Structure 1
Amino acid sequence: MCTFLKGDYERYKVKKEKQLADGGHMGRIIGIDLGTTNSAAAVWENGESHLIPNAFGDYLTPSVVSIGKDGTVYVGKIAKERLVTHPEDTVSVFKRFMGTEKIYSLAGKKYRPEELSALVLKRLKEDAEHYLGEEITEAVISVPAYFNDLARNATKNAGELAGFHVERIINEPSAASLYYQCRSQMEDAVMLVFDFGGGTLDVSLVECFDNIVEILAVSGDNHLGGSDFDRLIADMFWKSCGLSENRFSAEDAAIVLERAENCKFELTGQETAQMCVTLAGREYRMEVSRKELILQAEPLFERMAQPIRRVLSDGQKSAREVDAVVLVGGSCKMPVVQKYLNYLLQRTDIAVVSPDYMIALGAGVYAGIKERNADIRDMLLTDICPFSLSVSQYNEADPNRDLCDVLIERNMALPVSRETIMTTAHDRQTKMRFKVYQGEAMYAEDNLLLGSITVPVPVGPEGKEKVRVRYTYDINGILVVDVHVVSTGQEKQLVIRNDKIKLSEKELKKRLEQLNKLKIHPRDLEENRLVLARAEKLHRETTGYIREQIDSRVQYFNYYLGRQDVLSINKGRKQLNLFLDYVEEQCLQEAAFEGTADGFSRWYESSKQAVDAQDQVDYRKEEQEYELWRGGHLTS
């Protein structure tokens, strides 16, 4: 542990406790994009998210740390220069190892990834305090959506080591979507966030509805980035000049790679670029066009397409249903990348809006929300489960290989609670054992075993005894398994948590209380019971076609409730309430309902006056979904 960081943190905690005890208020909250290559900070001021410049006047601070022999700490731009002059005491891209046991040795001392990240965060804190002229006590820090609970906890620890109070870690695609939504004023939309950095590609499908930003699916390639285009252009240079890279020194190869990167930057602003390098006293030249680069980069573009296809598949959306494509990361500024996305998604409206700063600006928006600024509405940003959680299931075809029954699928919004019913598999069975697994494999043995729980059941024939099994999980890595024997009422509980995440008993109790609230079925929540009661009341007051429509739409809403997905339930409740509004305001007042397409159209037209144009786009989607569901329901 870095003593100078620990001391800062201890002083911060004492100061914070004193301020709270005195009834005082802490300082400002900032949003931070803690990036792999660069980091940035933003603050909400005057109704907008503003970037915070560092001591050099730049908005981007390189995520690089260097330690001098005398113990001097260098962070950012100076540290980046020392990558060449002092490579043994300088390190970068440590974000990739957050939450792991990796150790870095710099100037004779050992550092964990979160300690190095803390140094970057501390520099951002100092720059922000200098720029704003006041104390910064809290930060909203972004992380990749695929970060597991260990990596998220390490990020939170890094913030606290830097002297921040870190109450909220937000997902990078959520931050980007939040800023895009804030800037574009799009109320309800499905966004594809394409985050293409120097070394990684992260693709996310995000849905914004009312005040909720929910990630539907994530995918990516941790070994594909802008640096792969640098390597490709360098290879084109060696081949074009008839040279073999192996014949030259590592320094010469580094120069060629650097010039290749410059060539890539030139192609961002022009159709052709020239690359000129002097090697062994001789000058070599190559001219390359965007068209040539596209042809040579075909394998890279195909790798780019794979995560896009996967998120659309996992999110159950088509490319046509994507309302906006949000580009994040410096590599997105390459015109060839933009053109490929236009081709792949069959659209021409992909705009580049501050890709280097999109996440930081989004984190700044959320910082404004946390400060409860009057000029910004509250938003709920959901997390997702990066893996599937399942329970073992008897395999009748192969009794020696249990199957996995998935309760919580990957990409589900968190926190989440799901339930299934299991029955006895044999005659005269006296107990049932449930093994808890993590992973995507069909067979239980191929997944990671997390734990097991056993309950006794009354002796009886196969299939007679039923046991309810419920999984409840949150982003803090706490999985609660509840089993309930239906016939006897006996209940048992298993709490599985990651031992590497240190929670006090008080914190654990608080988290478990929060999870217990999720165990109420959505059907029993007050707002859902209210709309169902309202529908039942109108069912009693109507007849004929109106009553049939109410019945059908209540069944559709129950279908949403059965899926136990918060966003879908909110949509379904909004749609049902709109329909019930029409029944009350139009049908009952006129004491008649034509039951024709024209009558339905009049209701649809009247609904336009109650909601804005974007709401209508979403309402039409909901109507189409309803008609598809209704057709399947009537024919099943």
Structure 2
Amino acid sequence: MAIIGIDLGTTNSLVTVWKNGQSILIPNTFGHFLTPSVVSIDHETIYVGEIAKERLITHPKETAGIFKRFMGSDKIYTLGKRRFRPEELSAFILKKLKEDAEAFLKEPVAEAVVSVPAYFNDAQRSATKRAGELAGLKVERLVNEPSAAALACQLMNAEEDANLLVFDFGGGTLDVSLVECFDNVINVLAVSGDNRLGGSDFDRLLARYFCQEKRLDFEALNENTKGVLLQSAEKCKFDLTDAETAKMTVSAEELHDTLPISREQFIEIAAPLFTRLTEPIKKVLIDGSLSLDEIDQVVLVGGSCKMPVVKLYVNYVLGKEADSIGSPDTIVALGTGAYAGIKARHQDIRDILLTDICPFSLGVNIVNPLEHSRDLMSVLIERNTTLPASRTGIYCTASDFQSKIELKVYQGEGRYADENSFLGKLDLPVPRKPKGQETVDVRFTYDINGILVVEATALSTKNTKSLLLISDSNTMDKHEIEKKVAALQKYKIHPKDKDENRLLLARGDRLFTQTVGELRKAVEFELFLFSHALESQKTHAISKARERFSYFLDQVSWELENGGFGPSLTNPDENWYQTFKTEDTGDKTGIPSEEDLKNLFLNWQLNRKKRDD
């Protein structure tokens, strides 16, 4: 039974399957690959896709779109007399795509890989999985959209190592990601975005501009007229993709008018939106610790990237040419289909590891020295950390003779604890001592299944308490959860205690004892840098530091073995005596004199000094 890949988009969705060595787009009943993410109700009949989109104008109160923006929230959509949550509306889209796939493949489909924005939190991912269940699909794996796009790029270009900036600008959301591709691994380094910014916002700006020019109040128009106006704005936006000027023609009950708009005017109208495009780019470069020079490729994804002004703006702010590999509309879907092929273990696609990241920070509360009534957030696992991950922190008592330490676990980016989502708490008894004298070791271990293990150990008594937090998105039974928790044990080893890192530290210590002077100082400095990277517990930083440190140690070893001696000691010649007489002394009849040896030694010392200088 085939596993399908689904790109569940804000404005359009696609379904793919891996077949005959490639990811194939599956058409809907109208023969189109793009199915509008729109749902409409007519009494007991539910319309999905293109028919529903047509009803946005004629039946706006019974039709809904762009509900992906509110996945995982408490928002309720009222369509006619029925009420729906965002995941319930998404389930109708997924069910329609499932039916299209079954018609195309001529076999039942029970499982899908679904793409989601990399910044989606637990609640949003949980809602996406629930939508799959409601649609009759087993959604065991969610794949991050930038990872899917990078996978499609890798398969198209057959390149192994590259740093990609994926600029995914769809109809309703903007996602910007840094993705590292190496050794059959696709690793998301950092993500940022704006889930309230998309191509539909350009439509709304054009519609409001039209009303401004025609002295109309957009908000005062009825829903049907608003729908016609927005549809006309969308068409004008598309027309400006290929032409320098276009016309907005509106024909509705109370409005019949036309307004010409140039591409230059469009840029001026949309100036506030272009400004918002830059913030996620700056944020992702800072979080990913990469410079623009280290970006090998800028990949444009999403239908809104087909607007020439968007591509020009991205080129402008990044100072380099952005690429549209294939169609921006379909690249995520193709990558999702490829991952479905990997998951199904197809032999005609190589096994590529797509790493997951933690899109939010996880931490505990600590006392605020300036405002005791409001705790601060101390982050243990930072956002954009590659998962699975395990991090530790050392904390001490804040009051004299306190009998326990109360750890409250939070998720979010706020400075104050109460600005973040509360996940749970753990109480650890400690001996009564003056403040600061009792310390606890706190460890967070987290994986993509939404399993968070919190462990706290009082260092003086070795007493340990643990807390297991499981997200709503986790549908595993008790036995499966126990297996996953057991598997996480290996991630609780501190990086400095892992064999590959201990070996390098041991080599560094040995070379420190073998060297003197400036070379010893260099070894000491590199040992410090590597140890500092290990203490950060950041997988990507440690990997880079390990590569650098290993190369440095190889150079020092070579220096000790070869650099301080001439070629005669490095690679002695079996016929050294004849060579020595012929080449170095010029005396072919006798043994070199003491004066000859002295001169040779002085020349070697002089050459050594010149090389050192």
Q: Same fold (TM over 0.5)?
A: yes
- Find the aligned partners of 1:275 and 1:334 in 2 and give their Cα distance: 17
Question: Is the aligned partner of 1:183 residue 2:186?
Answer: no
- Find the aligned partners of 1:398 and 1:118 in 2 and give their Cα distance: 46
Aligned counterparts, 1:203-602, within 5 A: 203-241=176-214, 250-277=223-250, 284-351=257-324, 353-498=326-471, 503-532=476-505, 552-578=525-551, 591-593=561-563
TM-score normalised by structure 1 residue count: 0.79
Aligned residues: 566
Shift of 1:51: 1.5
Shift of 1:332: 1.0
User: Relative to structure 1, is the Cα distance of residues 34 and 178 closer, same or farther in structure 2, using a 3 angstrom cutoff?
Assistant: same
Q: Secondary structure at the match of 2:280?
A: helix
Q: Secondary structure at the match of 1:131?
A: helix
Amino acid at match of 1:268: T
User: Relative to structure 1, is the Cα distance of residues 66 and 312 closer, same or farther in structure 2, using a 3 angstrom cutoff?
Assistant: same
User: Structure 1 residues 338-347 or 524-533, which shifts more?
Assistant: 524-533
- Check conservation: 1:150, 1:501, Cα contact below 8 A: no
- Find the aligned partners of 1:102 and 1:239 in 2 and give their Cα distance: 31
Aligned position for 2:2: 28
- Find the aligned partners of 2:554 and 2:138 in 1 and give their Cα distance: 45
**Two-structure CA RMSD over aligned residues (Å):** 3.3
- Check conservation: 2:60, 2:227, Cα contact below 8 A: no
Alpha-carbon deviations, 1:21-55, whole Å to 9, x = none?
xxxxxx22221101121111222234332222222
- Check conservation: 1:481, 1:493, Cα contact below 8 A: yes
Unpaired segments of 5 or more residues in structure 2?
566-613
- Check conservation: 2:119, 2:193, Cα contact below 8 A: no
TM-score normalised by structure 2 residue count: 0.82
User: Structure 1 residues 82-91 or 312-321, which shifts more?
Assistant: 82-91
Q: Secondary structure at the match of 1:180?
A: helix
User: Structure 1 residues 251-260 or 264-273, which shifts more?
Assistant: 251-260
Aligned position for 1:608: none
User: Relative to structure 1, is the Cα distance of residues 129 and 448 closer, same or farther in structure 2, using a 3 angstrom cutoff?
Assistant: closer
User: Relative to structure 1, is the Cα distance of residues 594 and 189 closer, same or farther in structure 2, using a 3 angstrom cutoff?
Assistant: farther
- Check conservation: 1:560, 1:569, Cα contact below 8 A: yes
- Find the aligned partners of 2:106 and 2:481 in 1 and give their Cα distance: 37
- Check conservation: 1:546, 1:593, Cα contact below 8 A: no
Shift of 1:329: 1.4
- Find the aligned partners of 2:100 and 2:473 in 1 and give their Cα distance: 32
- Find the aligned partners of 1:254 and 1:387 in 2 and give their Cα distance: 36
- Find the aligned partners of 1:119 and 1:284 in 2 and give their Cα distance: 37
User: Relative to structure 1, is the Cα distance of residues 489 and 33 closer, same or farther in structure 2, using a 3 angstrom cutoff?
Assistant: same
Shift of 1:175: 1.2
Amino acid at match of 2:449: N
User: Structure 1 residues 237-246 or 202-211, which shifts more?
Assistant: 237-246
- Find the aligned partners of 2:214 and 2:170 in 1 and give their Cα distance: 29
Amino acid at match of 2:562: A
Amino acid at match of 1:593: G
Shift of 1:579: 5.1
Shift of 1:498: 4.1
Aligned position for 1:64: 38
- Find the aligned partners of 1:151 and 1:292 in 2 and give their Cα distance: 37
Amino acid at match of 1:45: K
Amino acid at match of 2:126: N
- Check conservation: 1:385, 1:413, Cα contact below 8 A: yes
Shift of 1:333: 0.7
- Check conservation: 1:333, 1:352, Cα contact below 8 A: no
Amino acid at match of 1:118: A
Shift of 1:133: 3.8
- Check conservation: 1:200, 1:224, Cα contact below 8 A: yes
Shift of 1:250: 4.9
User: Relative to structure 1, is the Cα distance of residues 92 and 217 closer, same or farther in structure 2, using a 3 angstrom cutoff?
Assistant: same
Question: Is the aligned partner of 1:118 residue 2:91?
Answer: yes
Shift of 1:245: 5.1
- Check conservation: 1:209, 1:567, Cα contact below 8 A: no
- Find the aligned partners of 1:449 and 1:157 in 2 and give their Cα distance: 22
Unpaired segments of 5 or more residues in structure 1?
1-26, 596-636
Amino acid at match of 1:164: L
Shift of 1:360: 0.5
- Check conservation: 1:390, 1:438, Cα contact below 8 A: yes
Q: Secondary structure at the match of 2:410?
A: strand
- Find the aligned partners of 1:342 and 1:573 in 2 and give their Cα distance: 34
User: Relative to structure 1, is the Cα distance of residues 43 and 499 closer, same or farther in structure 2, using a 3 angstrom cutoff?
Assistant: closer
Aligned position for 2:17: 43
Question: Is the aligned partner of 1:129 residue 2:102?
Answer: yes
Q: Secondary structure at the match of 1:74?
A: strand
- Check conservation: 1:342, 1:350, Cα contact below 8 A: no
- Find the aligned partners of 1:44 and 1:582 in 2 and give their Cα distance: 46
Alpha-carbon deviations, 1:222-266, whole Å to 9, x = none?
322212222333333344455565786654444333222211111
Shift of 1:67: 4.3
- Find the aligned partners of 2:222 and 2:48 in 1 and give their Cα distance: 30
Alpha-carbon deviations, 1:512-560, whole Å to 9, x = none?
2233332111223344445555666777888888776665544433332
Alpha-carbon deviations, 1:114-160, whole Å to 9, x = none?
34323322222232233234443431111112222222122223323
- Check conservation: 1:39, 1:60, Cα contact below 8 A: yes
Q: Secondary structure at the match of 1:136?
A: coil
User: Relative to structure 1, is the Cα distance of residues 432 and 169 closer, same or farther in structure 2, using a 3 angstrom cutoff?
Assistant: same
User: Relative to structure 1, is the Cα distance of residues 161 and 526 closer, same or farther in structure 2, using a 3 angstrom cutoff?
Assistant: farther
